[in-house]
Chain A
Amino acid sequence: DGGITQSPKYLFRKEGQNVTLSCEQNLNHDAMYWYRQDPGQGLRLIYYSQIVNDFQKGDIAEGYSVSREKKESFPLTVTSAQKNPTAFYLCASRGQGLQNYGYTFGSGTRLTVV
């Protein structure tokens, strides 16, 4: 079955560490997105990529970095510059065409600073 796989499901980060969250899709979607979800704040866009080797900052990109070397993969690195990284991180993808404006989401990664 086609879908989006996020790993790991749970991740613990020590102060000052960089950590990378994985996102892989086999839907042949061109566009991929990273969102952060905090209680009571809804989904906030971190980075998005519409094509391989290209990506744009979203609304809260500071302290995060991404790469898009393959169509299937869009990893997110949470750097030590992100001062409040504890949150639920969601990866999504979108196909092309007029009927494909909606997103398909992964199951999320919960990141906790210890």
Chain B
Amino acid sequence: EDQVTQSPEALRLQEGESSSLNCSYTVSGLRGLFWYRQDPGKGPEFLFTLYSAGEEKEKERLKATLTKKESFLHITAPKPEDSATYLCAVRGNRDDKIIFGKGTRLHILP
């Protein structure tokens, strides 16, 4: 069964303190790993898609990396506006569904 586990559940950082969020996955034939940002009371906002091990993508202070078993979302010198819940999801070759993890709640203190 396809599965996504995100850690930690919650993370509090000082402004400028870099860190990483983890997404471990089990999937039959990875067809894409996705990172989303979700603000309270809003729908998830697409950040990145990674397709194969070794791939990396960057956007402002965020960088996503992928191995055969996990993905990391690295946050460099975060600002308070980076506070949100970050969701990881995977799509396998079994069907059309995308499986989501429970997310990591990130809080950046000024």
Q: Are B32 and A58 in contact (CB under 8 A)?
A: no
Interface of A is mostly: strand
Return the contact of B101 from the options A42, A101, A108 (Cβ within 8 A).
A42
Q: Are B43 and A108 in contact (CB under 8 A)?
A: yes
Question: With A40-B102, A43-B87 given, is the CB distance from A105 to B96 under 8 Å?
Answer: no
Residue of A nearest to B98 (CB): A103
Q: Is B69 part of the contact surface with A, judged by Cβ < 8 Å?
A: no
Q: Is B79 part of the contact surface with A, judged by Cβ < 8 Å?
A: no
Residues 1-31 of A, flagged 1 when their CB comes within 8 A of B and 0 if not, give 0001010000000000000000000000001
Q: Is B107 part of the contact surface with A, judged by Cβ < 8 Å?
A: no
Question: Would you mind naming 12 contact pairs between A and B with Cβ atoms under 8 Å apart?
Answer: A35-B100, A41-B102, A42-B101, A43-B44, A43-B100, A99-B49, A101-B31, A101-B98, A102-B46, A105-B44, A105-B46, A108-B42
State the B residues within 8 Å of A (CB).
31-32, 34, 36, 41-46, 49, 87, 91, 96-98, 100-103
